Amino acid sequence: MFERIKSIFSGGVLSKYESTGNSKQMQLYSICTGRCRKTLRPVSIKKYSREGVEVERKLDSLYRVRPLAEMLPELKHPLIAVTIEAEVTDTTRIEILESFTGASLREVMDRSENTPEEFIDCIVKAGSGLSYLHSLGLLHRGLTVDAITTGQQGTKIIDLSFLMNAQKTTAGSTMTGATSYSAPEVLRRSPLDVRSDIFSLGAILYEGVCGESIFPSVSGFERLLRVMNSKPEPPTAKNHLVSEELSAVIMKAVANNRAHRYATVEEFLAALKAAPVPGKLPAHAHAFAG
């Protein structure tokens, strides 16, 4: 309590940092480059919108053992963006992250900057980051092509906004999030487990090797129905350079029934590494309804 009062009277966490670049708007927050006023250390500054503050308050209350602002600075893994500090008041939520100069995976895919080998390596590294979270009893619950960044600093999961404790999702969970990557049980508000994250990672892999999302021609409520009840076309039908082995790996990861998916991220990644890498990635279609 003393630290919070001290923070308020000293101007809060933003009194120590200043913005140095344009903001990028995401679903629940905006993020921009910045630096520490005292040391000039480069950072990334994440400011939640009013909606984001409310969503995080609900997630803290229902699906986390401890508030996200307390958990984030404790996460230490080379494939997870480091949170330097976080501050929460009744109306604001600020997170100060390590500086990262790479582009989001969506931006890289849009510009066709990755070779097939680089893209698969990015998926493997993101999966390793998920494995770390799972080892702590956490579910990411919001993995998308915007939640992963890649560049000179390597691959990192930078967005943990929907992070949940697995033990708190056994009775169901909120549907908030990007439906393009959400597992059917998320959309049904059913109990969740690590296989829900595996679906999201598989959906990203599908998008990369096929050039479009699992159900690219529909949006809104129809997309929800498709994700919950339908089976996507196999990647071999979208890209003739995808092997039957890789197609089978992807289809298992995005199986509608989670009992048919991989049981762990490690099992998924082992199968992915054993499958032939496609000779070429198709151009990325701009058809993602979120």
Report d(CA 284, CA 209) in Å as an integer: 9
pLDDT at 12: 86
Tell me the average pLDDT across 8-24: 81
Q: Are 97 and 84 in contact (CB under 8 A)?
A: yes
Report d(CA 181, CA 125) in Å as an integer: 18
Please report which confidence band the pLDDT of residue 208 belongs to, taking 50, 70 and 90 as the band edges: very high
Q: Pull the structure tokens for residue 68.
A: 């996200």
Nearest CA among 246, 257, 265, 158 for reference residue 208? 246
pTM comes to 0.90
Q: Which helix (H) or strand (E) holds 108?
A: helix 105-110
Tell me the average pLDDT across 72-79: 96
Report d(CA 97, CA 288) in Å as an integer: 27
Report d(CA 49, CA 29) in Å as an integer: 5
The length of the chain in residues reads 290
Tell me the average pLDDT across 64-86: 96
Output the CA–CA distances (angstroms, integers) from residue 149 to 40, 278, 286, in the order listed: 23, 22, 18
Nearest CA among 40, 241, 172, 24 for reference residue 32? 24
**CATH no. for 103-274:** 1.10.510.10
pLDDT of 38 higher than 90:
yes
Q: Residue type for 124, please?
A: V
pLDDT in tens, 82-114: 999 999 999 999 999 999 878 999 999 998 888
For 13-98, CATH number out of 3.40.50.12140, 2.60.200.20, 3.30.1360.10, 3.30.200.20 equals 3.30.200.20
Per cent of the chain over pLDDT 70 is 88
pLDDT in tens, 123-155: 999 999 999 999 999 999 999 999 999 988 889
Q: Pull the structure tokens for residue 230.
A: 């339908």
Q: How many CA atoms lie within 13 A of 79 on its CB side?
A: 15
Domains 13-98 and 103-274 share a fold: no
Strands 24-25 and 29-36: antiparallel
Q: Where are the domains of the chain?
A: 13-98, 103-274
Please report which confidence band the pLDDT of residue 175 belongs to, taking 50, 70 and 90 as the band edges: low
Q: Are 265 and 198 in contact (CB under 8 A)?
A: yes
pLDDT of 7 higher than 50:
no
pLDDT in tens, 214-267: 876 556 666 667 677 678 899 999 999 999 999 999 999 999 999 999 999 999
